[in-house]
Chains A and B, each alone.
Chain A
Amino acid sequence: QSALTQTPSASGSPGQSVTISCTGTSSDVGGYNYVSWYQQHPGKAPKLMIYEVSKRPSGVPDRFSGSKSGNTASLTVSGLQAEDEADYYCSSYAGSSIFVVFGGGTKLTVL
């Protein structure tokens, strides 16, 4: 059982927007602004899409955005494209003992 809770699946048509949520506790998501999101295509290593809740690494389209409210973080993908179909994982720093926790992943399907 993953430490962070994500809905297992989400879907949307091309051009639409979809939001994926990630719920933790005050010891991880709610306690630190070190929430990040990773995209993983089948057979590939995860790729960083969002860090520090809402920052985008160089090269990540601005269609990807992140936010946080309390113990829940969210990833929004706007203007869905076929290549956005992938698994998405959230993660959060959880202090020096536990260090980092992941969500169980959300499979995003572009209809």
Chain B
Amino acid sequence: QVQLQESGPGLVKPSQTLSLTCTVSGGSISSGSYYWSWIRQPAGKGLEWIGRISTSGSTNYNSFLKSQVTISVDTSKNQFSLKLSSVTAADTAVYYCARWDTSSGIFDYWGQGTLVTVSS
């Protein structure tokens, strides 16, 4: 059973960089036809896709966040990471990592989510 777990600081100051890591267990991040994604959800609001990465390092980002976002992968550690630069209060949200199954077009496994608050 594949499991994903987000980790990183829960509080980030405005203008700084938000950094999160997703650790994948129960299977190799390199196996199968999957993309590894970050999704966020501000309190009381809907889901927003941030970006994705393949294990070969190919990335796609949400056009609204593209200038701020960097997603990377470390296959040796079975992890992928998110960096969001120049954050503001509007970036306060629960951040989820998730696996995208390309054969079915679904996010089939999700992390539990981690709340990141942007505040001084």
Given contacts A45-B112, A103-B46, contact A96 B106 (CB under 8 A): no
Interface contact B105-A34, CB-CB below 8 Å: yes
Nearest B residue to A93 via CB reads B105
- B110: A residues at CB distance < 8 A: 45-47
Question: B52 is contacted by which of A46, A55, A99 (Cβ under 8 Å)?
Answer: A99
Q: For chain B, which range describes its interface: under 10, 10 to 19, 20 to 34, or 35 or more residues?
A: 10 to 19
Contact with B along A81-111 (1 / 0, CB 8 A): 0000000010101001111111111000000
Interface string of B89-120 (1 = CB under 8 A from A): 00000001000100011111011110000000
Kindly name the residue among B52, B63, B105 whose own CB sees the greatest number of chain A CB atoms within 10 A. Answer: B105
Interface size counted on chain A using CB atoms at 8 A: 27
A69 within 8 A of B: no
- Near B by CB (< 8 A), chain A positions 19-38 give 32, 34, 36, 38
Tell me whether A99 and B47 are in contact in the complex, defined as CB-CB below 8 angstroms, given that A34-B105, A45-B112 are known contacts.
no
Q: Report A46-85 CB contacts with B as 1/0, cut-off 8 Å.
A: 1110011001010000000000000000000000000000
A63 → chain B closest CB, angstroms: 20
Q: Measured between alpha carbons, how far is A98 from B62 in the docked complex, in Å?
A: 7
Chain B residues within 8 Å of A, Cβ to Cβ: 45-49, 52, 60, 63, 96, 100, 104-108, 110-113
